[in-house]
Structure 1
Amino acid sequence: MKAFLFLVLTFLSVTAHAVTLEELQQRFSQVSVLRADFAQQRTISGMAQPLNSSGNLLIAQQQGLWWQQEKPFSLTLLLTEKRMVQIMAGQEPQVVTADNNPQMFQFNSLLSALFHADRKVLEENFALDFKDLGKGAWKLVLTPKVSPLNRLFRSITLNGETFLNNIDINDMQGDATHIRFFNQKTTPATLTDAEKRHFAS
């Protein structure tokens, strides 16, 4: 009975504990491989209907980010430390590196920082407003403070619990992008042979 009460009290103390950005970064950094599905909705000024897309993604600590849009058309985005590659059916792959387009390549490290809650990189580029919403939920609002980000985005808002669940992007043109992540999986903890081929291409 004492052991049971101890477990209950331990659980309550953990769930009541406020989430901090430091703890979030530590938690995310311990995930070696993350797989998820995504649904994206983009609202563009002057367009009556939003643009919807969906697909899946793979984040591997050592390799990078592989983003596969399935609908409404196939689009693959590969981000590693050295390059960004965009592949559309029937077209030549577009490759961006720090040498041929340093400004665009800057977004590579920022995207990685978003998914890993990398405080150092985020603080270099944004003013951070982190809130613990209770019951393990949290929100991080990023307000750009350096060029060219502050000329492109009004704010980027991240929401999540165990994982990053939503990204909301508001840009300077009045457009908005909402990305929802779901079906997150961290096992297997290593890449399959098929997944390794994504980063080898």
Structure 2
Amino acid sequence: MKRLGLLLLVLFCGFSSALAEGPTDNRLTEGQVLRGQFVQERHLQGFDNPLRSEGRFVLAPGHGLIWQTEKPFAITTVITAAGLAQEVNGNQTLKLEAAKLPFLNQLYDMLSGALTGEWAKLEAGFVVTRKGDDRHWQVSLKPRNVDDPGMPFTAIDVTGSQFIDDMTLTKPDGDFDKLSYHDQAVSDQPLTAAESAAFATTAP
């Protein structure tokens, strides 16, 4: 369950750009790639200071998400419709097919749908509340099935403008993760060879 919670966190954080776009025409399209950097602070009860990590991400519709933590440890997680793979210091430590993680697969489908404008898929699993306008907005998600053991978050709150600025994921025990995004840019250029190779690691 702890590992699943981590994977869900990565999935939500990477696909949070889908929440930014909502019903507007700014959403990513097939062939575009969103790249950026993130800072994650994990706030745990009993600890005075948060646990901090930094890294980069690549989000490509039709391909998936590459979430690359660089500090304090080098960990790369790749999530696609086929499944997920994880490397630590360049060595693959985990590979799972989507069929073995039905909830993760369902969530991937929801967030991918929102990314391409199919908000009905996301709203099937969450109560989505939006405030503000294109210049400054807020999105709040509450799970419709709060008793689902596969959903480790009770609330997801996102703020941003063109892209995500900040995201907070709250857990039932009061712990929460806060992420800040920066240096984000959308490109029409194809994936790099390294990015294509990373996405291929999830293939059966």
TM exceeding 0.5: yes
Distance 1:20 1:28, change over 3 A: closer
Q: Is 1:73 aligned to 2:73, yes or no? A: yes
Q: Is 1:176 aligned to 2:137, yes or no? A: no
Q: Indicate conservation of the 8 Å contact 1:151/1:172, yes or no.
A: no
Distance 1:71 1:20, change over 3 A: closer
Output the CA distance in 2 between the equivalents of 1:170 and 1:72. 23
Partner of 1:10: none
1:105-153 CA-to-partner distances (Å, cap 9, x unmatched) read 4443355457667512220111111001x56111100011125278622
Output the CA distance in 2 between the equivalents of 1:114 and 1:50. 30
Paired amino acid for 2:98: A
Output the CA distance in 2 between the equivalents of 1:114 and 1:49. 34
1:37-85 CA-to-partner distances (Å, cap 9, x unmatched) read 0000010112222110000000111211001000010111101111111
Any unmatched runs of 5+ in structure 1?
A: 1-18
Distance 1:92 1:21, change over 3 A: closer
Aligned residues: 180
Partner of 1:29: 28
Q: Percent identity?
A: 27
1:89-115 CA-to-partner distances (Å, cap 9, x unmatched) read 376431222322323444433554576
Output the CA distance in 2 between the equivalents of 1:139 and 1:117. 17
Paired amino acid for 2:22: L
Give TM-score scaled by structure 2 length: 0.77
Partner secondary structure for residue 28 of structure 1: coil
Please provide the CA RMSD for this pair: 2.6
Partner secondary structure for residue 70 of structure 2: strand
Report which stretch shifted further, 190-199 or 60-69: 190-199
Partner of 2:129: 129
Q: Indicate conservation of the 8 Å contact 1:158/1:167, yes or no.
A: yes
Output the CA distance in 2 between the equivalents of 1:34 and 1:78. 15
Q: Indicate conservation of the 8 Å contact 1:165/1:180, yes or no.
A: yes
Q: Indicate conservation of the 8 Å contact 2:22/2:119, yes or no.
A: yes
Paired amino acid for 2:66: W
Which has the greater radius of gyration?
1
Distance 1:188 1:98, change over 3 A: closer
Give TM-score scaled by structure 1 length: 0.78
Give the drift of 1:164: 1.8
Output the CA distance in 2 between the equivalents of 1:86 and 1:199. 11
Q: Indicate conservation of the 8 Å contact 2:61/2:112, yes or no.
A: no
Higher relative contact order (CA 8 A, sep 6+): 2
1:30-109 → structure 2 map (5 Å cutoff) = 30=29, 32-89=32-89, 92-109=92-109
Distance 1:104 1:195, change over 3 A: closer
Distance 1:199 1:107, change over 3 A: same
Partner of 1:200: 200
Paired amino acid for 1:167: M
Any unmatched runs of 5+ in structure 2?
A: 1-19
Report which stretch shifted further, 92-101 or 104-113: 104-113
1:140-155 → structure 2 map (5 Å cutoff) = 140-146=139-145, 147-148=147-148, 152-155=152-155
Q: Indicate conservation of the 8 Å contact 2:44/2:50, yes or no.
A: yes
Output the CA distance in 2 between the equivalents of 1:194 and 1:175. 35
Distance 1:79 1:151, change over 3 A: closer
